[in-house]
Amino acid sequence: MDTMTKTAGTILDVKGLRTVFRIRSGEVTAVNGVDLTVAAGETLALVGESGSGKSVTSLSIMRLLTRGIGQIAEGTIHLKRKNGAVSDLTALSEREMRTIRGDDIGMVFQEPMSSLNPVYTIGDQISEPIRIHRRADRKSAMDAAVTLLDSVGIPDARRRAGQYPHELSGGMRQRATIAMALACDPTLLIADEPTTALDVTIQAQILQLLQRLQRERGMAMLFVTHNLGVVAEIAHRVAVMYAGRIVETGPVADVFRNPRHPYTIGLLASMPKLGDASRMKQAGEQLAAIPGMVPSLANMPPGCAFEPRCRFATEDCRRAMPPLFDVDANHKTRCIHWQEI
């Protein structure tokens, strides 16, 4: 068993994670040298555009990559489990990982209809991990499932437990998937864009629910999103991803107040603000956008991956991938021009 080098409160410690996918033309790197830590009671938001590597990072941690296509090529993923032991998930067999998924780690996916089985009732699906990991009998597990449904704010929980996913609204289905993820009281919850498919009012309710449950249970949470407004609402720290790498990381307030990477600046500038619509319409302006597209994994530019889209880029940016520079003790950025920015 490996010893975790971080503080005693560290639940997840990812070092040098590199995830590759096999394609017809060879091999592409989707996650490249990612370092992450999440402590008990802390929420780390992983932010970036589609294709930046956020979801692949979360699937790598869960070891849910498609077999024969995706694999972890390098790095370690240390998890502090409920029994106090620390395991490197990259070194475990698939059988050992099955004992961790749903027990030590819970995951909430973006679209509840894709993570809920349409032919089983909500109660059966929530009670299943309780029966498997806690070896509870069917009645005890179902009673626990009803209690969980009640705890995530689903009214008339006993009746809802007997219903199928299609009989619930989108917001209720997402609450049910949260209940399922928390069924065995995990030390780490991974939430992969859990509010994207919901309307704004329901989004706010789900965020408040996750915050309340985290406070009550003291669990660590890795929150994957592209929505910076959600980050400001729920996270303590933020890691901004671009083309498979972390390009800026730090406390949410520091990064939002004092962004030191051009990509982070672009993301913040593209966020609409209250009153922008009428003001911009009168002035004939458009919402700010980052020019260009995320580069193809099969054809990455030399040096900094953001250089083709960056207004601060110089010839030095094309020569080599910059390391993470220390803006201060807790704030880092992957840009050689961070002091000028």
What's the rounded Cα separation, in Å, for the pair 295 and 309?
10
How does pLDDT run across 29-54, given as a tens digit for each residue? 999 999 999 999 999 999 999 889 99
What's the rounded Cα separation, in Å, for the pair 104 and 63?
13
Q: What is the pLDDT of residue 282?
A: 64
What's the rounded Cα separation, in Å, for the pair 103 and 180?
10
How does pLDDT run across 244-258, given as a tens digit for each residue? 999 999 999 999 999
Q: Say how many C-beta atoms besides its own lie within 10 A of residue 102's C-beta.
A: 19
Token pair belonging to 311: 């207004």
pLDDT, averaged across the chain: 91
Say if 67 falls within a structural domain: yes
Say if 53 falls within a structural domain: yes
Say if 40 falls within a structural domain: yes
Q: What are phi and psi of 62, to 5 degrees?
A: -80, -10
Residue range 162-189: mean pLDDT, rounded: 94
The answer on pLDDT for 206 being more than 70 is: yes
Say if 248 falls within a structural domain: yes
Q: What is the pLDDT of residue 200?
A: 83
Count how many domains the chain has.
Answer: 1
Residue range 221-231: mean pLDDT, rounded: 93
Element (H, E) at 223: strand 220-225
Residue range 221-237: mean pLDDT, rounded: 93
Q: What is the pLDDT of residue 53?
A: 94
Confidence at 4, pLDDT banded by 50, 70, 90 = very low
Say if 207 falls within a structural domain: yes
The answer on pLDDT for 238 being more than 70 is: yes
Confidence at 278, pLDDT banded by 50, 70, 90 = low
Residue range 189-207: mean pLDDT, rounded: 87
Cα-based angle 339, 17, 245 (whole degrees, multiple of 5): 35
DSSP 225-277: ES-HHHHHHH-SEEEEEETTEEEEEEEHHHHHHS--SHHHHHHHHTS--TTHH
Residue range 162-185: mean pLDDT, rounded: 94
Say if 314 falls within a structural domain: yes
Confidence at 7, pLDDT banded by 50, 70, 90 = very low
Lowest mean pLDDT among 4-8, 129-133, 310-314: 4-8
The answer on pLDDT for 5 being more than 80 is: no
Q: What is the pLDDT of residue 243?
A: 96
**Residue 267: domain span:** 10-112+186-333
Confidence at 225, pLDDT banded by 50, 70, 90 = very high
Residue range 81-85: mean pLDDT, rounded: 93
Q: What is the pLDDT of residue 109?
A: 86
CATH number (domain holding residue 225):
3.40.50.300
Say if 46 falls within a structural domain: yes
Say if 309 falls within a structural domain: yes
Residue range 177-199: mean pLDDT, rounded: 91
Tokens 């889209």 correspond to 309
Share of the chain above pLDDT 90, in %: 76
